[in-house]
Structure 1
Amino acid sequence: MTNPSHQQFYERVERDLARLAAGGKDSRESFLFYLLGYIEGFYEAGAISGNESGRLVQQAHAAGVTGKLKIDGKGWSA
C-alpha cells in the first residue's frame, strides 16, 4: 500500500467534512466517529503532524456540532 500525499489526504478530509455537514444529526454523529478515527490513523502512521491532527480534529468537532460549511467552502461556521 502506498502512502497518500498530503494533498490527497487534505482532499479526502475536506470531502468527508462536506459529507458530514450535509447529513442529519444521526448521520453527523456516526460520521464524526469515523472521521476522528481516520484522522487519528493518519497521525499514528506519520502522514500528518500532531498540529495538523489537532486542527483537523477541532474542525471535525465543529462540523459535527454545527454542520455548517462556510460559504467559501473553507472552514466551518461557529
Structure 2
Amino acid sequence: MKTNKLERLRFEASKYGERSYLLTLLDKPAGEFGITVSNPNLIDEKQTIVATFAIEGPADEAAEAAEAAEAAEAAE
C-alpha cells in the first residue's frame, strides 16, 4: 500500500561516542522507515540526509523460522 501520509515514531536519543547518537524506538511496528537529518547551521537546506531501515514483524520471523526448519531437514 502506498500513501502520502507520514507518521512519526516515538523515540529516545542519547549521545553515542564523539559524533553519533543512539536512537531507541519506543514503538516498533513492522514496516519500512526513514530518518531525515539536516544541519540547522547550513545555509543550503538542500543537503538533507535520509537513512532508511526496516523492522521485521512476527510474520517475517515466522517465515524465517520455517525456512530455517526446512534447511535443517534438508541437511539431515
- When the two structures are superposed, what TM-score results if normalisation uses the length of structure 2? 0.27
Tell which has more relative contact order, 1 or 2 (C-alpha 8 A, sep 6+).
Answer: 1
- When the two structures are superposed, what TM-score results if normalisation uses the length of structure 1? 0.26
When Rg is computed on C-alpha atoms for both structures, the one with the higher figure is 2
